[in-house]
């Protein structure tokens, strides 16, 4: 894919920097390419579900942000993005030391962009797929 | 609906109490009835997306927990639940002072339960619908 | 809800009349109100899945059309609608003599409308819920 | 992937042969491999939506069957499968002379299997992606 905005990486990283929730989760942007964004998050016992696994909401949050930013990387200058909807399948318990959400754009339209994400549990050099997301994102000109 | 476990409310509240992520978000169980659970969360500027709205991941997290616990309220004794998958539509920006996810079971099966949730933004006595979720939950006997 | 186009019912019925697939399935528009459309389909052994139940694709097709037309009933004059995406939960085998998809708009926006549908199996005066759908629909001015 | 049942292809083709709806649509199984099934359908003006495109319900039906049969190809002997739920994103109008749904298993579990499908519009040697599906399928022993 070719990004319509040559500043796509700076745009993504600047917007991500304003997502205080990502910072609260300890999430980081690991990679930005045209139509592709990877976001990591460490396991945190303070963010667990009832059995001590990482809460599905954390896995979902980084997958959602990764999908949104993969869409933003393909948006024209001076645009912002918002998730319209998404669906996630939770495939395995989230017990790894860290997690990586890898999102990529499936179809970039003028108004709507569809992105998918895979979330992997990472233990050393091993990866196991823990979730997959399909998301619809809307791009809008930034007012002003 | 009639809960198969007369202790359903205690079971839900005890499990919720172990979800450290809910506590980190400031989320609270507001109501438990057979097949219905409401969970609230306050707006928190530390949990925002890029424009200062509450991050969709927070809205999703309380809706996911509410769906899971509505399913747990209809599970037999000594069972636990896990979300298999869910889909959420984000209808309006999450700008209210607080939010309430109201989940209810649509179909309780032996293995799988389907639940839906509406998430409302709450400002004083006013409610506005900000998201709707459809979720599939699996119930499993607790090993032991 | 108040339909922005007073001709909403005629618009829905005329468009439905052009859906040759609905006619092939034996589907009928049973009711049109602002933001609400019901579509029925009879059981047909020629449209079954492997066990002789009505194929999930048929249930899905009438739910999809009902959601789309509930959105069209709330669109301005000279607009058409297209489903962007939908999710369906199949709750029970489709074994009834006929089925009714009841869709209603959850949120009508300028560009995107979110609708939900319940599909019931109908046996005489009895209804049983067999599926629920959540759908995102885009409205566009008709060119020309 | 390794299919637990060496007869997986015969099982899939035999079950597909009982889906009268697939036959009514003109759908065919084009390929069966462990965890992967492709199903084609021709464009048919008798199965259109309001603008003469192939109805989304037809695209969805072959994607649903392909996902279900990719799961069946990985099921133990004497099991049947049923779709629990699915989500589809419709990316482009379905105007091609024929369509191919390519499904593959993402995660095969004991009870639940998650599959994804891409549906392509086919014109000669050209393929364009028109839809993507994510589906949850349940496997059950055949009674008797």
pLDDT in tens, C63-87: 999 999 999 999 999 999 999 999 9
Residue B65, pLDDT score: 98
Helix (H, G, I), strand (E, B) or coil at D144: coil
Tell me if D3 sits within 8 A of D37, measured CB to CB.
no
| ipTM, interface predicted TM-score of the complex | 0.97
**Distance, CA of A1 to CA of A35 (rounded, Å):** 7
> pLDDT tens for residues C32-61?
999 999 999 999 999 999 999 999 999 999
Q: How confident is the model at residue B143 (pLDDT cuts 50, 70, 90)?
A: confident
Cβ <8 Å between B47 and A87: no
Report chain D residues whose CB lies below 8 A from the CB of A87. 87, 134
D21–C65 CB contact, under 8 Å: no
Q: Which of residues 43-102 of D touch C (CB under 8 A)?
A: 45-52, 55-58, 60-62, 64-65, 80, 82-90, 93
Tokens linked to A87: 């669906």
For the residues of B25-65, what is the DSSP string, one character each? HT-EEEEEETTEEEEEEE--GGGB-TTSSBPHHHHHHHHHH
Cβ atoms of D56 and D90 within 8 Å: the answer is yes
Nearest beta carbon to residue D20 from set C21, C46, C90: C46
- Per-residue pLDDT of B41-61, as tens digits, reads 999 999 999 999 999 999 999
Percent of chain B with pLDDT over 90: 97
Q: Using one digit for the tens of pLDDT, what is the confidence trace for B17-36?
A: 999 999 999 999 999 999 99
**Is the Cβ pair C112, A84 closer than 8 Å?**
yes
Would you state the pLDDT for residue A144?
76
pLDDT of residue A143: 87
Report, as ranges of residue numbers, the positions in chain A whose pLDDT lies below 70.
Answer: none
Domains of chain D by start residue, with CATH: 8-141 (3.10.129.10)
Q: What is the pLDDT of residue B3?
A: 96
| D118: nearest Cα among A107, A129, B140 | A107
User: In this complex, is the C-beta atom of C138 within 8 Å of any C-beta atom belonging to chain B?
Assistant: no
pLDDT above 90 for B84: yes
Give pLDDT tens digits along chain D (144 positions). Answer: 899 999 999 999 999 999 999 999 999 999 999 999 999 999 999 999 999 999 999 999 999 999 999 999 999 999 999 999 999 999 999 999 999 999 999 999 989 999 999 999 999 999 999 999 999 999 999 987
CA D17 to each of CA A95, D69, D116: distance values in angstroms, whole numbers, following the listed order: 42, 12, 22
Chain A contact for C136 (CB, 8 A cutoff) = yes
Residue B89 to residue C136, Cβ atoms within 8 A: yes
DSSP strands (E only) in chain B: 28-33, 36-42, 79-90, 98-108, 112-123, 126-141
Q: Residue C144's pLDDT is what?
A: 76
CB–CB contact B114 C87 (8 Å):
no
Q: Does A129 touch chain C (CB under 8 A)?
A: no
- pLDDT bin (cut points 50, 70, 90) of residue B123 is very high
Contact across the interface for A85 and C136, Cβ inside 8 Å: yes
Helix/strand/coil for A77? coil
Chain C residues with CB under 8 Å of D57 CB are 21, 57-58, 60-62, 64-65
pLDDT value of residue B64: 98
């894919």: which residue's tokens?
A: A1
Residues 6+ apart with CB under 8 A from B6: none
Residue C129 pLDDT grade (very low, low, confident, very high; cuts 50, 70, 90): very high
pTM attached to this predicted model: 0.97
pLDDT > 90 in chain C, percent: 97
How many whole angstroms separate alpha carbon C97 and alpha carbon B121? 42
Distances (CA, A) of D34 to A7, C126, D70, D142: 43, 42, 7, 20
- Name all chains with 3 or more CB-CB pairs below 8 Å to chain B: A, C, D
Residue D144 pLDDT? 77
Give me chain C's average pLDDT, please: 97
Full strand arrangement of the beta sheet holding A28-33: A28-33, A36-42, A98-108, A112-123, A126-141, A79-90, B79-90, B126-141, B112-123, B98-108, B36-42, B28-33
Pairwise CB contact (< 8 Å): D138 & B111: yes
């Amino acid at each position: 894919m070719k990004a319509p905005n040559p500043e796509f990486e700076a745009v993504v990283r600047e917007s991500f920097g304003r997502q205080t929730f990502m910072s609260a989760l300890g999430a980081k942007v690991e990679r930005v390419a045209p139509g592709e964004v990877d976001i990591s998050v460490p396991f945190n016992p303070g963010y667990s579900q009832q059995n001590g696994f990482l809460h599905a909401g954390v896995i979902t949050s980084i997958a959602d942000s990764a999908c949104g930013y993969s869409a933003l990387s393909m948006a024209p200058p001076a645009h912002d993005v918002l998730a319209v909807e998404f669906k996630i399948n939770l495939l395995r318990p989230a017990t790894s030391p860290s997690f990586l959400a890898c999102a990529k754009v499936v179809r970039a339209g003028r108004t709507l962009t569809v992105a998918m994400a895979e979330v992997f549990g990472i233990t050393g050099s091993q990866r196991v797929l823990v979730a997959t997301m399909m998301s619809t994102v809307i791009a809008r000109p930034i007012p002003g």
